Structure 1
């Protein structure tokens, strides 16, 4: 059976994570994705290489694509660029504002060649405003959006970024989602369109604190802003700021229901959201929580919460991981062991669902990695291929868009394309 996007052609002019991930997700739904790289390869290919020109980072974000190497900056490649745009149903870019225009791959240029094209553009901070031209990566978007300071756990007094690049990953998934909607719209109307996303907006969307009930939250936000201004004015450290901000949410000090615990021999996590699961947790652990009793004084939140944390941490040290997991599951409590990713390759649950699959790379041989993140019964998703070696499909793709073998050879001799 064919994938849902079988026959859709995607021109991927992106680098690093968000854009490449979006294109890779489209490939797993059946799209023919061609990735365009500079002659030396995109930066992610050259970051922590495992063999020359190949890195695990690149393998992860570019699975399922064909690849060509092309010097877009040389005006002599304009005929190649324009034929690729005419060939494509979707064009994805993730440069700073102004760069696509300079390369001739902006929306206006693309739709002059291909009026029905779906043009998906990702930027770091949006196309307008004082930060539009700022260079940005996930770590910068996390910092500027408040995402990195939403985690109260500092390292050496510093707010550390979330390691899996959440702004990039969410943007990649969102772009793929938007592209499929735009393709559906085009199928109904014949109309192409431009899609815009940014790392800043994705990082904002991830945070509950980015949403307000105005009547309830506006005053509290102003109090927090006043505290920040005062703390910075006196030179407070990040540790001091984070500690002082806890007074605005004293209930967080006593989190016993949604967190990891150290046991006698390892670590586990529990997740109890809502009154029912929390009551079962208290029963399972053998504690009472005064915060749930009538007449509790909110002024004691921090004090009582800290004592509950100490009590629960001590109790979890009394039994092994296996003992606690069996005990908590008997009370229908969501819980699980803390693992490292290497343990998942042989995990019975992962194996039973086929979540790790094998495929082949032209230079590295067999690879193993996660299956497509969704499964579909009528239009199945699949891993089409591994990521391309640099320039692996240049000749093949240029032949498909109408260039002769002689023209391709001439482009290569002039240093305009990379051939493997």
Structure 2
């Protein structure tokens, strides 16, 4: 046990099997005593592919830092009586456990949730991507949609479950937390009703085109002498750097090209010129020159290059897999107080710790009194939010939604890029989604007086969050040491593209560049098109990185109750992506070339893929996992084929795909999904983002509420609470602030400044205030 980790003293029982194992792994990394409770034969996930020398790389990567027991009956109840959190996939007996221990937080992680019309449906990674609105935006116009690589839906849902679990634990009175992977996919992986990247000009995905948008111009990828590179030219200063890099050609000298929309309109001329510039240069040369010119640039790396990249080696981002010589796996995704919260102990053997755990059980925790009503668990916390663009916005919003007073600190000289709009609006729907429930403070942190005001606010706050380039806060005199001297209980959290240390730490980073550098962009393409990269429209991993950072911050606040001290939290977006490809990268480390693009030709059993349905650009995902799934599917299709094993089916994959396509083509996607699910076959229509609003399951579970903003004409559908809780209230829906909208009120209420002093600060340009006063 590491006493320095924030969740030391928190006991978590893990009764998951596959689904949800990452949730308890995140809590274990942060110091919780996670005890896996398995049947005598061991969890089925111990045999999950890929297997190397009898070791499941999936199990090894998802269960490090845990203990394992085989118990039942009275011994299991003894564990329940001493636990703080139970994570389970089961729906049965939860009521009895909650009745026995009202103070226990029970987190049920299931595919569709414990209630609703889909609750008994079958699911896979790919059906969630289809139904959750992700598939409809992945791929290129005129082609079939493209299934994203990896296990992003399940891994992202696990982060959401960890956040929901700690919220309920922080509240301190027990809860039943109902987490649906389907809903998490729709709200975490790449939310259609959420903040988007600055290149979208404030237009959320829900307002995008019906078909798959050709988004390649947003973050273009160019061929070069030894592979591919990507650039992100968004801000006017970045365009000026690109213009200089091109040699300042007269055809691009028009000052209007500083505008993002004007540049995108001229991409047909600008991008060929950039392509000619890059054609004879190597990836290394282009990245170095991009840094010199202030143009965010990244090489598309292969998975093997990622495993041995200097940045990840310097930061010990990978560690050995126990029992598999030479294998590497991601080594945790969070740094706490400057130290990686990584792998301390390998995944346990079945029942390894049974005797030790039972012999050392502490006295039963007295049951908490049952609580009626609902509340917001973070009420009373104050967060100073310096976050920008997507991950910064989302992190602060998560705390604001749950009751914290979140003060967005910004100024006109360095505006948040997410305020950028194509039409010059004061606020966009995208910004309104990302910054709801926050207050706005305009403060010049380049002036000593502004720094002094910020420090006075720190003395009255609990958390400071930022996602600037590493070193920026220190250069302003706002590093953790300075802030902790003012307030020893302050938690200072940062996120960046590649982390606060290592040779790439100062690189300009955006999500698209991080995806390129971690190998994800290269994996996310069509098999028959080397240039068919299709990740330009996604915002991944910003929203999931925000949740992982939120989990770590809340863990530090839980520890503060015990120690009285704050500390630091740091998250690198690149390492979040690596952490969501754990077993795939582990296999790649010992079998180079195993992790490659697979397009829609999903490996394993057959059929598995995306199949056309009746209508214009309509599709349905069908995935057969095993022999029983095939028998159920064959009962619907009546193929007449004798294919009892996966090997038989794989050998006839093309024939089966043709039969499935013929069947789905005669039906609407919703009808095809319903008929297959009625037979117990994992299937899902490709649901477009606006169609989520009419989904009966989401409606039944209260997924959406209606948000209003005084500067936006139309009502805005918005997500509700991060899970279905018994005692955590739904978030408020206060409008996102205009720049400096609440400056006067904050300085009066929090710091007690008199009106004349505030007026003087505004006149001096230290404080900015908006058109709307609080």
Q: State the TM-score, normalizing by the size of structure 2.
A: 0.47
Superposition pairs of residues 231-246 of structure 1, within 5 angstroms: none
Output one character per residue of 1:274-324: Cα deviation in whole Å (capped at 9) or x when no partner.
Answer: 443344224333344858267x6xxx96x6434433343233224443542
Relative distance call for 1:410 and 1:250 in structure 2 (3 A) is closer
CA distance in 1, matches of 2:761, 2:642: 73
Give, in angstroms, the shift of residue 103 of structure 1.
Answer: 1.9
1:109 match: secondary structure = helix
**Counterpart selection for 1:135 from 508, 522, 530:** 508
CA distance in 1, matches of 2:761, 2:607: 63
Relative distance call for 1:180 and 1:357 in structure 2 (3 A) is same
Output one character per residue of 1:317-336: Cα deviation in whole Å (capped at 9) or x when no partner.
Answer: 24443542343133122323
Q: State the TM-score, normalizing by the size of structure 1.
A: 0.84
Give, in angstroms, the shift of residue 48 of structure 1.
Answer: 2.2
Output one character per residue of 1:45-87: Cα deviation in whole Å (capped at 9) or x when no partner.
Answer: 4322555331222112111111111111122212211111112
Give, in angstroms, the shift of residue 112 of structure 1.
Answer: 1.4
Superposition pairs of residues 10-409 of structure 1, within 5 angstroms: 10-39=383-412, 42-49=415-422, 52-153=425-526, 157-161=531-535, 163-208=537-582, 210-212=584-586, 218-221=589-592, 223=593, 252=602, 256-265=606-615, 266-287=618-639, 288=641, 290=643, 292=645, 304-364=652-712, 366-399=715-748, 400-409=750-759
CA distance in 2, matches of 1:349, 1:407: 54
2:412 match: secondary structure = coil
CA distance in 1, matches of 2:530, 2:585: 30
CA distance in 2, matches of 1:291, 1:144: 42
CA distance in 2, matches of 1:30, 1:2: 9
Output one character per residue of 1:363-400: Cα deviation in whole Å (capped at 9) or x when no partner.
Answer: 33653322232233223131241211111111111112
Relative distance call for 1:304 and 1:172 in structure 2 (3 A) is same
Check conservation: 1:10, 1:91, Cα contact below 8 A: yes
* Structure 2 partner of 1:230: none
Check conservation: 1:49, 1:55, Cα contact below 8 A: no
Give, in angstroms, the shift of residue 340 of structure 1.
Answer: 1.8
CA distance in 2, matches of 1:372, 1:163: 26
CA distance in 1, matches of 2:485, 2:441: 23
CA distance in 2, matches of 1:101, 1:44: 22
* Structure 2 partner of 1:416: 766
Q: More displaced, 45-54 or 119-128?
A: 45-54
Output one character per residue of 1:98-131: Cα deviation in whole Å (capped at 9) or x when no partner.
Answer: 1111122221221111111111110110111111
CA distance in 1, matches of 2:613, 2:499: 46
Output one character per residue of 1:207-259: Cα deviation in whole Å (capped at 9) or x when no partner.
Answer: 2555426xxx54422x569xxxxxxxxxxxxxxxx6xx76xx99846874443
Q: More displaced, 368-377 or 57-66?
A: 368-377
* Structure 2 partner of 1:4: 377
Q: More displaced, 108-117 or 355-364?
A: 355-364
Q: More displaced, 68-77 or 264-273?
A: 264-273
Check conservation: 1:262, 1:313, Cα contact below 8 A: yes
CA distance in 1, matches of 2:663, 2:694: 31
Check conservation: 1:143, 1:161, Cα contact below 8 A: no
Relative distance call for 1:323 and 1:339 in structure 2 (3 A) is closer
The size of the alignment, in residue pairs, is: 391
Q: CA RMSD in A?
A: 2.9
* Structure 1 partner of 2:26: none
Give, in angstroms, the shift of residue 414 of structure 1.
Answer: 0.7
CA distance in 1, matches of 2:731, 2:589: 47
Check conservation: 1:262, 1:316, Cα contact below 8 A: yes
CA distance in 1, matches of 2:621, 2:573: 30
Identify the structure with the greater helix proportion: 1
Specify which structure has the bigger relative contact order, considering alpha-carbon pairs within 8 angstroms and separated by 6 or more residues.
Answer: 1
Structure 1 residue runs without a partner (length 5+) = 226-241
1:140 match: secondary structure = helix
CA distance in 2, matches of 1:350, 1:293: 34
Q: More displaced, 316-325 or 371-380?
A: 316-325
CA distance in 1, matches of 2:560, 2:431: 31
Relative distance call for 1:87 and 1:332 in structure 2 (3 A) is same
* Structure 2 partner of 1:238: none
Q: More displaced, 269-278 or 174-183?
A: 269-278
Relative distance call for 1:147 and 1:7 in structure 2 (3 A) is same
